[in-house]
Amino acid sequence: MGLPKVWYLFGEDHLPYRILLLARMLERETQNQLMEQFSLSLAEWRLLAIACAMGPCTASDIGGAGGIDRAEISRAMRKLEPKGLVVREADPNHGKRLIISVTPAGTELRARVVAARRRRFRELVQNIPPEERAVLDSAITTMAQAIKDDPVD
C-alpha cells in the first residue's frame, strides 16, 4: 500500500500535516484490528484502556484523560457493560455520580489488546534504527510541548 496522495500536498516542510495523516492512518488500522480481533470499537478500547490505567473513575475523569466526549463514553459504556468488561456503581461520596470500574474480564482483555498492539507497533518501527527512533520521539515530544492549548491536559 502506498502513501495517500495528499502525503506530498504541502511539501516536505509541512511535518505537522504528515503527522496528522499518519495518526489517522494508525487510527484506522487500530480500529480495524480492534474490531476484527477483539470485537471492540476504538471508543470502547479507549474507555477500557483509560479506566484500567486510572482505576475506578468517573466518566469525566475518562473524558479528561482521553479527550473523549460524554456521548462517546456513554455509547462505549452501553457496549462494554453487557460484555461484562466494566461496571458502574454509585459513588458513595456523591449521590448522582457513577464510578466506572473494570472487571477482571476487562483487565484480561486489555492485556491481550495491549500485547497485540505492541506487536504491531514493533512491526511498524522495525526498519527504523533505534537511534533514529530516539530522535523521532524527541522531535515529536518537543512539538507536543510547544503546543500551548493541549486539549488532553
Amino acid letter for position 81: E
DSSP secondary structure letter of residue 57? B
* Single pTM value for the model: 0.80
Residue 36, SS3 per DSSP: helix
Q: Kindly write down the DSSP assignment for every residue of 106-153, as one continuous string.
A: HHHHHHHHHHHHHHHHHHHHTTS-HHHHHHHHHHHHHHHHH-SS-TT-
Q: Using a pLDDT cut of 70, give the percent of the chain over it.
A: 95
30-63 pLDDT, tens digit per residue, is 999 999 999 999 999 999 999 999 999 999 999 9
Structural domains of the chain in order of their starting residue, each with its CATH number: 5-125 (1.10.10.10)
